[in-house]
């Protein structure tokens, strides 16, 4: 496996762990976690490739629009397709998207939104803080915040992260492509344009 594949799996792992915790599963076997990561990875790849295919088919551009994403979500089974010609109106097309957004904004995903930083943290402001043993205030912290605090205690400078993806923004470096006839993105782009020109003819 390539380093980028390992990096993407490593970045997907905390998201799957948080989704499991938000759903009420606070422990799992490593094999179950790896299986869920594999399923999520394959589904995201399917969704991305289907969106790219719809973008290329509909307007010969590799940049997808909302219509391409909606059609990919329909193809992948997230949204239900329209049933007939009468339902092709804009209101009917948007119904599935509204339903999907309502599900995302629902109570079953509240914890996921809070951990992701998309929902206000009720423990910080506006709500009565919990009182612990001895009368002290208890601040509810999510897993990621605790992990950051623990990590900051052990590392005082960013020197340990230098040269890694987690380091701060550094100078722009050249991206090297592995396993192909072209090694740089600058060389790859003209080849893609040539390939598209041949397909258009």
Residue 95, classed as helix, strand or coil, is helix
User: Does residue 146 sit within a domain?
Assistant: no
Boundary of a domain, candidates 44, 76, 108? 76
pLDDT number for residue 54 = 92
Residues 89 and 46 in one domain: no
User: Does residue 24 sit within a domain?
Assistant: yes
**Any residues with CB less than 8 A from the CB of 43 and at least 6 apart, and which?**
76
pTM of the predicted model over 0.75: no
Buried b (16+ CB within 10 A) or exposed e, 97-135: eeeeeeeeeeeebebbebbeeeeebebeeeeeeeeeeee
Phi-psi region of 14 (alpha: psi -120 to 50; beta: other; left: phi over 0): alpha
State the Cα angle at 148 between 146 and 114, rounded to 5°: 60
Residue range of the domain that includes 112: 84-120
Residues 66 and 96 in one domain: no
Count structural domains, the chain.
Answer: 2
Residues with pLDDT less than 50, the chain: 124-126, 156
Query: What sign for the dihedral angle of Cα 120, 132, 145, 41?
Result: negative
Residue 137, classed as helix, strand or coil, is strand
Residues 113 and 91 in one domain: yes
User: Does residue 139 sit within a domain?
Assistant: no
pLDDT number for residue 125 = 47
Q: Which residue from 196, 15, 38 is spatially nearest to 117, judged by alpha carbons?
A: 15
Distance CA 55, CA 32 (A): 35
Q: What is the DSSP string of 30-58?
A: HHHHHHHHHHHHHHHHHHHHHHHHHHHHH
| Residue percentage of the chain with pLDDT more than 90 | 16
Distance of alpha carbon 16 from the chain centroid: 10
């Amino acid at each position: 496996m390539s380093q980028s594949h390992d990096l993407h799996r490593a970045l997907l792992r905390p998201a799957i762990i948080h989704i499991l915790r938000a759903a009420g599963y606070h422990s799992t076997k490593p094999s179950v976690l790896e299986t869920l990561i594999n399923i999520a990875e394959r589904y995201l790849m399917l969704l991305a490739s289907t969106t790219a295919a719809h973008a290329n088919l509909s307007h010969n551009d590799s940049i997808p629009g909302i219509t391409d994403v909606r059609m990919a979500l329909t193809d992948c089974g997230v949204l239900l397709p329209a049933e007939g010609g009468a339902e092709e109106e804009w209101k009917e097309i948007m119904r599935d998207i509204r339903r999907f957004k309502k599900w995302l904004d629902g109570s079953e995903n509240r914890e996921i939104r809070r951990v992701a930083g998309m929902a206000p943290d009720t423990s910080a402001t506006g709500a009565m803080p919990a009182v612990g043993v001895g009368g002290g205030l208890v601040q509810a912290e999510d897993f990621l915040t605790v992990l950051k605090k623990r990590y900051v205690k052990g590392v005082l400078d960013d020197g340990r992260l230098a040269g890694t993806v987690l380091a701060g923004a550094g100078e722009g470096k050249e991206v090297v492509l592995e396993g192909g006839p072209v090694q740089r993105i600058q060389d790859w782009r003209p080849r893609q344009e040539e390939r598209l020109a041949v397909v258009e003819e």
